[in-house]
Amino acid sequence: MKKTAGVILAGGLSRRMGGGDKSLLDLGGATILSRVRRRLSEQVEDLALNANGDPSRFRALELPVVPDTIDGFAGPLAGVLAGLDWAAEAGYDKIVTVAADTPFFPSDLVERLTAAAEAENDAPLACAQTQGRDHPTFGLWSVALREDLRTALAEEGLRKVVLWTERHGCARAEFPMVETTRGPLDPFFNVNTPDDMAEALTWLDAQQED
């Protein structure tokens, strides 16, 4: 029985970075997306990328690219649905999603999300937290819920992740801050702006110094 597949969510518009694919920006000699891909691929059995537009721009990653099936850039839940549909066709029971602009997420993300779901009577959903703050795009999602999600998106117009996850009893996995030579780092720090990119380079240097 296949277990867990990974889906990288890269379907956003990157408005605060000026548009384009911010995940393809260079961060210390490798793109943000390639760092995310490497980190997640070590934790799952298979991997896909959720992205819209011409998929050829991601050819170097050698990943299946699955676009949103809900029109109008409906947000992260549309990417989750695309990932669930891909996983169902491939024979997986669940997926773990990560954001394409978050290069430092934990190397035990999948393990701890799975444990959190199991601890809550095999909850169909689990999401990451740091210091009590939810990071819902870093989540475990049961493929069995994909038709419910499709209905919520297409018929209800639902867009806010937590409104849907709370319907189904989302478990939480608490992750610690990462101690570095330059102070504590939230492992779910994401790159939204040019200032964030500069900060990410600082954190990358700090991790390399440890």
Q: For residue range 110-151, list pLDDT tens digits in order.
A: 999 999 999 999 999 999 999 999 999 999 999 999 999 999
In the chain, the number of structural domains is 1
**Strand pairing report for 133-142 and 4-9:** unpaired
Find where tokens 């101690």 sit.
179
Residues facing residue 126 across a β-bridge: 140, 171
- Average pLDDT of the chain, as a whole number: 91
pLDDT recorded at residue 15: 45
Find where tokens 């773990």 sit.
96
Instruction: Assign 12 a pLDDT band (cuts: 50, 70, 90).
Output: low
Instruction: Assign 21 a pLDDT band (cuts: 50, 70, 90).
Output: confident
**Per DSSP, which regions of 51-202 are E strands?**
65-66, 94-99, 125-130, 133-142, 171-175, 178-180, 183-185
* pLDDT > 90 fraction of the chain, expressed in percent and rounded: 79
In eight-state DSSP terms, residue 93 is S
Question: Which domain range does residue 98 map to?
Answer: 4-209
Torsion of CA 117, 120, 123, 127, to 10 degrees: -50
Comparing 7-16, 44-53, 159-168, the range with the smallest average pLDDT is: 7-16
CATH number at residue 192: 3.90.550.10
pTM over 0.85, yes/no: yes
**Residue 204 corresponds to which amino acid?**
L
Is it the case that residue 95 has pLDDT exceeding 90? yes
